[in-house]
Amino acid sequence: MLLIQESWVNRTRGNLVGETEPYESRFETPSEAYRGCRKLYGRCVGRVYVDGENGEARPIGWIFLKRAKYDDARSKADTYLQETWITLHSAPPVRSIKHNYVELNARDLP
């Protein structure tokens, strides 16, 4: 199973609305994920890229676009353009902690 991470952007206002951590999806292949996301999030308008080790861009997902209603919408005119950025992952992210210790010298000791 593929892991998917979603990020939602209000393109009309230009701000990040929310995002998920990578989670296990029901999709087994990238093409299945693409078709499923296209049904949920609208037409595909681009790809998501990450810089590879040698500096070249590697595609890791897609950007979908649709018109969405605000949660507190009172009329049908209360809509905005919603971008959904989808990235695919083969495993959960690895997190690490780096400690930046201060080294003491002889003058600092009592």
Residue 33's CB is within 10 A of a number of other CB atoms, namely 20
Q: Could you tell me which residues come within 8 angstroms of residue 20 by beta carbon, excluding any fewer than 6 positions away?
A: 4, 5, 6, 7
Residue 24: name the closest of 35, 11, 33 by CA. 33
- CA atoms lying within 13 Å on the CB side of residue 59: 6
Q: Which pair of structure tokens corresponds to residue 109? A: 């000791």
Q: Which residue has the higher pLDDT, 47 or 78?
A: 47
Residue 88 has pLDDT above 90, yes or no: yes
Q: pTM for this one?
A: 0.81
User: pLDDT, tens digit, for every residue of 13-61?
Assistant: 999 999 999 999 999 999 999 999 999 999 999 999 999 889 899 999 9
